[in-house]
Amino acid sequence: MMTFHESGLVHRDIKCDNILLHSPSGSGRVYAKISDFGFAKKEDSTNQKTYLAGTLPYMAPDLFERQQKLSQKVDIFALGITFYRIITYRYPL
């Protein structure tokens, strides 16, 4: 996620279904990889969102504000929801 954000991109659809796990045989390690870049968009100060994109339970409240600028904060929010869902197997209230 950090590398993606350093490139100035916002994924806009972080969720459990879009995180793939890979474990090379014999390594004893598991790597998480982000997939599905269909909603990804460049972040900049003039880039206002033109439509809602993402999966509702993972969407940051900022996305529902009319004139909100697109920022990487929406991915961080969705990542928090994703971790919560992985740990508790439910959505936060």
Nearest by Cα to 32 from 71, 79, 73, 74 = 79
Q: Please give the helix or strand (H or E) that residue 34 lies within, else none.
A: strand 31-34
Q: What is the pLDDT of residues 8-43, one digit of tens each?
A: 999 999 999 999 999 999 999 999 999 999 999 988
Q: Please give the helix or strand (H or E) that residue 11 lies within, else none.
A: none
What torsion do the CA atoms of 50, 4, 15, 71 make, to the nearest 10 degrees? -40
Instruction: Read off the CATH number of the domain in which 65 is found.
Output: 1.10.510.10
| Residue 20: inside a domain | yes
φ, ψ of residue 92 in degrees (nearest 5): -65, 155
| Residue 93: inside a domain | no
| Residue 34: inside a domain | yes
* pTM (whole model) above 0.85: no
Cα-trace Rg, the chain = 14
Sole residue written with tokens 């990804």: 40
Number of domains in the chain: 1
| Domain range for 54 | 2-88
Q: Do the bridges between strand 9-10 and strand 41-42 make them parallel or antiparallel, or are there none, so unpaired?
A: antiparallel
| Residue 75: inside a domain | yes
| Residue 42: inside a domain | yes
Catalytic residue list = 13
| Residue 22: inside a domain | yes
Question: Which is higher by pLDDT, 68 or 4?
Answer: 4
Amino acid residing at 45:
S
% pLDDT > 70, the chain: 91
